[in-house]
Chains A and B, each alone.
Chain A
Amino acid sequence: MNDLIRMIPSILMIVSPILISAVGGMICEKAGVVNIALEGLMGIGAFTAATVHVLIESSTPMSVWIAIIAGGLTGLVVSLIHAYASISLNANQVISGTGINLLATGGTIFLAQVIFKMERTQPFKLGMMPGFAGIYPTAWIALGIVLLAWYILYRRPFGLRLRACGEHPQAAASAGIDVRRMRYIAVLASGFLAGVAGACLVLTQTIQYTVNTINGAGFIALAAVSFGRWLPKGVAGASLLFGTAVALAIYMVNIESLRFLPSEFFSILPYIITLITLVLFSGRDYAPRASGQPYERGGS
């Protein structure tokens, strides 16, 4: 148990990007668009942040924060592709998401080759510094984002309208809500958050962006959305659980009582748990009802 307490800063470091990205995925699905591009958008955000940070870290002390914003903005811009395809053109949301995931791997490493002449970004000297009790500020960012998302989605008329677009877009439209505009906002928000998440990941967990930096964190976030039943507190709990599992897979060599298990055991946990809960809760409708379905104006 003591080992686990000592691991808390590391666990929070790993949980934060997953949670930020998952909140984005949740907002997106709440409005009726599935975003399986979280993984790719995180990669794009991480690459941008790592590049911006390494280029300006010696000239400004605000470098880390500028890098995070830059990561978020790049994620937002790239998610426009997904928004345009799935909202304006009624395209299959899974296909355009897959396209972005494929593009992200190639695009980031391509740019790294152009900018740094190697298959990764140049390592930066100093990432983000941990604050109080060795906890990285990303944990507070993540907490702030969950609370803000909860407040907007469940305490503001805007949030009610956004959720209506994911439950019953035709009804929402007849109440005067611009469904397409709402969905655009949701997709762009998820793009921004995924970008920020990728930036937080690269600035706290490593010293450069490589093709393996994200390594499934975006897909874990996607799992956390389902396991968290599309609710802010559920998604937060799921991210905490999955992040802990990821942390255990990495740090378990330090824990005497767990050493008999292979690290793969903990790596598998988030995925198995998600699958089992999806089956257990299958009878009840937790998912936004119109999630993943294109909305056609004037369609019957």
Chain B
Amino acid sequence: MKRSSLNKSLLDRLLSSDKAVSISVVLLGFLCGTLLVVAVGRNASGMYSAMLQTLTGLDVTRGTWNIRYVGEWLNASLPLILCGLSMAFAARTGLFNIGAEGQYVVGLTAAQFVALYGPQIPGLHWMLALLAAAVAGGIWGGVVGWLKAKFSVSEVVATIMLNYVAFFASRWLTMLIPGSNTYRTPSFPATARLSNPLINQLTNGSRLNLGLFVVILSCLVFWFVIEKTKLGFELRATGLNKDAAQYAGINVTKGITSSMIIAGAFAGLAGAVVALGSFSYGRVLGGNDNYGFNGIAVALVGNNTAGGTMIAGLLFGMLASAQPLMQSRQIPKEVTWIISGLVVIFISLRAAFRIILDKRAKRRAAELKERIDE
């Protein structure tokens, strides 16, 4: 008997579910990474025991347990989640924010300046630094949105340009600070730092810090703005169909600019969380931290939602944080970058699923017609 393709099969459902696709793409990335490690003659179990140690603190090779690894994992995830939110917010408005890296850098730079020159009032000082970072990132992103809306300058090209402007400007400005050399500024006062004795104690001296709450709050804000506010509705409408949104009376120009401002603010916060959480002095950047670029992968895997981005950020944070452990187990740590790259490439191939789905739907329609004709 011929198998009826009239009803939507499991395959149809899997291919049309964003969550299932994300999970399979990630699994495929891990599979390729594992094969690669095996292909070069290393023991892949080292890769997974490194990941296990990162996730749980359990070192199976020595039978020891240290919660500090968990703290470091969460800490590594914080900027990735924030940069992912930045990318995701813009994507919901139909924009490709490849500039989270630059917005991250201006946020980091602004936070460093406020940390060094702001009022040293406990509790207020670091909040001001965070605020400055969000504002700086917001301006940096907003400029792109404005150029896009007003002059239809491609946001992809504009953000790539601004990434480099941010990087070199940050070096220039930071080296102007008295007492700085070519790689660092004087130390931050304690009031500017995000480290917290309680979190520190709980995680056995990891670098995890108050940034954790900044990230949780940011995820909630993202969800609330996108799903529950008029602005969020307008932005989503613009993202789905710009012309229809305009026709419906939505101010698309304003929408694109405000979307990029909010996206930039998330990335700017990421810069502050890293600067004030993981370092005790301002850095003169020698190279990109790459949180912004990895944020692209995070948002793509997270399907541009708050919850998805958070989970994807934790995943990529785990990969980043497991690197030194892999290296100590003779696994080339670059395999984690390869996995991230492959995941993004597989996601771009996702378009193929739509083609398959269309074909199957057409076949179903044809079969239905055949039966009716009978």
Contacts and interface: CB of A to CB of B under 8 A. Distances in A.
30 contacts: A36-B156, A89-B348, A91-B350, A91-B351, A92-B348, A94-B96, A95-B300, A99-B347, A99-B348, A101-B293, A102-B297, A103-B338, A103-B345, A104-B341, A105-B337, A106-B336, A109-B337, A212-B287, A216-B164, A222-B160, A262-B175, A268-B164, A268-B165, A271-B161, A271-B164, A272-B161, A278-B154, A278-B158, A282-B151, A282-B152
Interface string A265-296: 10110111011001100110000000010100
Nearest to A108: B334
B147 interface: yes
Given A36-B156, A102-B344, A105-B337, A274 B161 contact: yes
Contact of A262 (B172, B337, B341, B352): B172
A142 B169 CA distance: 31
Interface in A101-131: 101-107, 109-110, 113-114
A109 B334 contact: yes
A89 B347 CA distance: 12
Contacts of A219: 160, 164
Given A216-B164, A264-B168, A95 B293 contact: no
A114 B40 contact: yes
Contacts of A99: 341-345, 347-348
A100 interface: yes
Contacts of B156: 34, 36, 94
A278 B300 CA distance: 28
Nearest to A223: B161
Contacts of B351: 85, 89-92, 294
B334 A102 contact: no
B298 to A, nearest CB: 12
A33 B155 CA distance: 16
Interface in A53-109: 81, 85-86, 89-92, 94-96, 98-107, 109
B169 A102 contact: no
B304 to A, nearest CB: 12
B14 to A, nearest CB: 18
Interface of A: 34, 36, 81, 85-86, 89-92, 94-96, 98-107, 109-110, 113-114, 212, 216, 219, 222-223, 226, 262, 264-265, 267-268, 270-272, 274-275, 278-279, 282-283, 292, 294
Interface residues of B, number: 48
A110 B341 CA distance: 13
B6 interface: no
Given A106-B341, A114-B40, A282-B151, 5 more contacts: A36-B160, A110-B332, A110-B334, A262-B172, A278-B153
Given A90-B355, A96-B345, A114-B40, A106 B340 contact: yes
Nearest to A225: B157
B171 interface: yes
The A interface is mostly helix, strand or loop, or mixed, namely helix
A42 to B, nearest CB: 15
A275 B144 CA distance: 10
Contacts of B172: 262, 264-265
Interface string B206-231: 00000000000000000000000000
Given A90-B351, A264-B169, A279 B151 contact: yes
A67 B190 CA distance: 53
Given A85-B351, A91-B350, A114 B332 contact: yes
Nearest to B147: A279
B366 interface: no
Of B160, B161, B165, B351, chain A has the most CB atoms within 10 Å of the CB of B161
Contact of A91 (B40, B336, B348): B348
A268 B168 contact: yes
A212 B175 CA distance: 21
Contacts of A85: 345, 348-349, 351
B114 to A, nearest CB: 22
B335 interface: yes
A6 to B, nearest CB: 25
Contacts of A89: 348-349, 351-352, 355
B158 A95 contact: no
Given A102-B337, A212-B287, A95 B168 contact: no
Interface in B281-317: 287, 293-294, 296-297, 300
Contacts of A110: 36, 332, 334-335, 337-338
B157 A226 contact: yes
B346 to A, nearest CB: 8
A113 B351 CA distance: 34
A188 to B, nearest CB: 17
A113 B332 contact: yes
Contact of A94 (B98, B161, B338): B98
A219 B165 CA distance: 12
Contacts of B55: none
B345 A100 contact: yes
Contacts of A264: 168-169, 171-172
Contacts of B40: 114
Contacts of B260: none
Given A216-B164, A219-B164, A279 B153 contact: yes
